[in-house]
Amino acid sequence: MTMDEIRKPASNEIRKVPASAGAQWLIDGFATLKASPTGFGAMGLVYGVLAALMAGVVMLLPQAAFVVQTLWFLAAPVLTAGLVWAAREVAEGRHVGVAAYSEPARQGKVPSLLATLLPQFVAAVLIAGLAFVLIGYDNVRTMMEVFEKMRDAPPGAQPDPALLAALPAGGVLLWMLCAILIGFAMFFVTFIAVPGIMLGGKDVFTALRASWRASLRNLPAMLVLIVLLIIMLIGIALLAGIVGAIVGIVAGQVMQMLVVQLVMMTVLAPVMAAAATSAWRSMLGADAGPPALPVGQLQA
């Protein structure tokens, strides 16, 4: 055995990274977008346009909402895989374009990518089941009615306090806590599964298991990432809201909502795909070094 073979990490080795890596992954996500605004950025714009079109169809044709949302649910991991592939290409100094979205199909990875939706489906079923157990069927129906009224109400309107007062506070709080914990678990299971499939050549269950184990092993970094994600989401939502409000003055509320969706997804989709790619590289990739992007790096 040569010295190079000894130094080379095993393909299934999970590296321990510092807590600051959670911030570095997001920095790498934005750096990737900055490094290729007309290539990787164009892919983000296509993603945003598709997301806005989906939202528009749901608003304008409610009877088609289920079909459209199901199609988008199925398309999301495949589109994300194209972004992940492109993020790796940009990080290594190569040019990308919208054609990178065809890479998952070209490599025959679509079935595996669709299978990454299983944890989300299981999580949704589990959360729904816990709602009926902890809150009760009648109270769940009441909650759904309240949510529908809040969704359809004009800005500033409040739901009937009597409806909310009738809900079991303890059961609702316990259910919300369980839902949050399940959401965290689902995020850990899927966070770097797509890079594992697209870049690591793993089968779906190996990739999901590796994502879960890597996330738990690097829990401090994951918590830093989640906190920064929340802050980033608030910031992008505020920016999208401002742009949408300006558009809404001229074109109406429907266009306002579509523009908000467009702006948010155009930024979020590529940044999160590149951040997941950076996280996979640092925790499970063939080399531990960060992507060679022309930007400063956050040092541990």
With respect to residue 127, please indicate whether it lies within any of the assigned structural domains: no
Best mean pLDDT range from 50-64, 87-101, 232-246? 87-101
Number of domains in the chain: 1
In a domain, 182, yes or no: no
Residue 78 lies in a domain: yes
Mean pLDDT of the chain: 83
Using a pLDDT cut of 90, give the percent of the chain over it.
Answer: 48
Residue at 73 is within a domain: yes
Percent helix / strand / coil, the chain, rounded to 5: 75, 0, 25
Query: What pLDDT does residue 164 have?
Result: 62
Query: Rounded to whole angstroms, how far apart are CA atoms 69 and 74?
Result: 9
Neighbours of 4 (CB within 10 A): 7
pLDDT at 162: 61
What's the pLDDT at 62? Answer: 79
- The answer for residues whose C-beta is within 8 angstroms of residue 262's C-beta and 6 or more apart is 48, 49, 51, 52
In this prediction, residue 27 carries a pLDDT of: 94
- pLDDT, residue 149, reads 64
Question: Is pLDDT at 87 greater than 80 in this prediction?
Answer: yes
Q: Which of 21, 61, 117 is nearest to 254 (CA)?
A: 61
Does 199 reside within a domain?
yes
Average pLDDT over residues 184-205: 93
Establish if 172 belongs to a structural domain.
no
What is the extent of the structural domain holding 229?
16-109+191-283
pLDDT of residue 245: 82
User: In 3D, which of 58, 59, 77 has the Cα closest to residue 68?
Assistant: 58
Residue 146, pLDDT score: 67
Q: What is the distance between the terminal CA atoms of the chain, rounded to a whole angstrom?
A: 32
pLDDT tens digits, residue range 134-180?
A: 887 777 777 777 666 666 555 555 655 666 666 667 778 888 899 99
Q: What is this structure's pTM?
A: 0.82
Which is higher by pLDDT, 275 or 161?
275
The pLDDT of residue 163: 60
Residue 4 confidence (pLDDT) above 50:
no
Please calculate the CA angle 69-75-81 and round it to the nearest 5 degrees. 145
Separation between Cα atoms, residue 274 and residue 85, nearest integer Å: 9
Q: What is the pLDDT of residue 252?
A: 72
Residue 155: per-residue pLDDT: 52
| pLDDT, position 244 | 77
User: CA dihedral in degrees (151, 131, 127, 56; nearest 10)?
Assistant: -20
Alpha carbon distance 68, 70 (integer Å):
5
Please report the pLDDT score of residue 237 as a whole number: 86
Q: What percent of the chain has pLDDT over 70?
A: 83
When pLDDT is cut at 50, 70 and 90, the band that residue 284 belongs to is: confident
Q: Residue 1 falls within a domain, yes or no? A: no
Q: How far is CA 154 from the centre of its chain?
A: 29
pLDDT higher than threshold 90 for residue 57? no
Quick check: is 118 in a domain? no
Per-residue three-class SS string for 97-153: CHHHHHHHHHCCCHHHHHHCCHHHHHHHHHHHHHHHHHCCHHHHHHHHHHHHHHHHC
pLDDT at 239: 84
